[in-house]
């Protein structure tokens, strides 16, 4: 039997301890990754799961998950310590969004935001993460189905349940972060636009309350004044026209009808031969014919 000198034995023990203590986090970027751990149990990893990377052998990585260690292929994850990790994770997050895999996109964007909070992509990541959460909320069914999604990792962000509409809505916290951190970003107007839409979803139905409608109208008017040069400006103008039209139908006040007509005529003039001018023309035609849209 070979006896190792004490200093060599101690060095080996320290190396083992160092191996177990020093690790990098990695995020799984695909679904159905089979993980057979050293505890002889099989697990299935999915997009957004976090593992600890301890060692590399060729194209295989030794990783820890759920207190078990196993080898998985390097291609199924992104090592968050890699110099290209920021770009790769942003790319995968956007890719899932483009493929309409909104839950996966939201999970990866959320991990990106936590790990790269000084990134040059952060304002874009916040915006598209918010959009992904909005789309994910639309996929929730009855109230009990939300808990399943929370268990799968979406609990970091708040969803609001509208009992009247039987629908879940995202609270817009990502958009609010854009306005707080990047008020001059090109995504600031987009974030504000989404927050106004969320406000509407939370407060519908109006129940013939002119005050509720006037409150929302004021918000759209403030938006149009602040973001006159944004892509969303014309959308805000259409909303202003729409709300004035609803107010006219409820109150019969001609001032609201005139306001609606003026707004729609401005859209036709400023944005000729576009879908926006087509929307405005349809509204003008229906107003002239006395057609109602609210009831």
CA-CA distance, 54 to 37, in Å (whole number)? 14
Cβ 245 vs Cβ 264: under 8 Å: no
Instruction: Give the pair of three-digit tokens for residue 105.
Output: 């996109």
Whole-number pLDDT of residue 144: 45
What pLDDT tens digit does each residue of the chain (295 aa) get?
Answer: 445 456 555 555 555 454 455 578 999 999 999 999 999 999 999 999 999 998 888 899 999 999 999 999 999 999 999 999 999 999 999 999 999 999 999 999 999 999 999 999 999 999 999 999 999 888 776 554 454 455 445 554 577 777 777 778 889 999 999 999 999 999 999 999 999 999 988 877 777 789 999 999 999 999 999 999 999 999 999 999 999 999 999 999 999 999 999 999 999 999 999 999 999 999 999 999 999 988 7
Domains of the chain, start order: 24-79 (2.30.30.40), 83-198 (1.25.40.10), 206-295 (no CATH)
In sequence order, what are the residues at sequence separation of 6 or more whose Cβ sits closer than 8 angstroms to the Cβ of residue 124?
90, 187
**How do beta strands 68-73 and 167-170 pair?**
unpaired
């Amino acid at each position: 039997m070979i006896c190792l000198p004490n200093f060599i034995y101690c060095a080996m023990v320290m190396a083992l301890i160092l191996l177990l203590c020093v690790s990098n986090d990695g995020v799984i970027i695909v679904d159905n990754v089979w993980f057979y751990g050293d505890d002889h149990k099989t697990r299935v990893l999915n997009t957004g799961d976090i593992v600890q990377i301890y060692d590399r052998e060729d194209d295989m990585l030794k990783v820890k998950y759920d207190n078990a260690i196993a080898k998985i292929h390097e291609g199924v994850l992104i090592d968050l310590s890699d110099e290209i990790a920021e770009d790769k994770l942003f790319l995968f997050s956007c890719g899932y969004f483009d493929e309409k895999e909104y839950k996966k996109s939201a999970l990866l964007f959320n991990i990106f935001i936590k790990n790269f909070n000084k990134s040059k992509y952060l304002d874009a990541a916040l915006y598209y993460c918010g959009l992904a959460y909005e789309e994910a909320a639309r996929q929730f069914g009855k109230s009990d189905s939300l808990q399943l999604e929370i268990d799968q990792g979406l609990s970091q962000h708040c969803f609001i349940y509208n009992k009247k509409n039987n629908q879940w809505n995202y609270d817009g916290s990502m958009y609010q972060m854009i306005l707080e951190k990047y008020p001059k970003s090109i995504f600031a107007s987009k974030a504000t636009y989404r927050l106004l839409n969320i406000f509407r979803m939370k407060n519908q139905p109006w129940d013939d309350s002119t005050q509720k409608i006037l409150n929302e109208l004021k918000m759209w008017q403030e938006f149009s004044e602040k973001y006159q040069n944004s892509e969303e400006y014309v959308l805000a103008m259409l909303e202003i026209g729409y709300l004035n039209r609803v107010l006219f139908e409820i109150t019969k006040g001609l001032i609201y009808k005139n306001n609606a007509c003026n707004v729609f005529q401005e859209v036709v003039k400023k944005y000729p031969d576009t879908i926006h001018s087509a929307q405005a023309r349809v509204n003008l035609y229906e107003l002239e014919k006395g057609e109602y849209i609210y009831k």
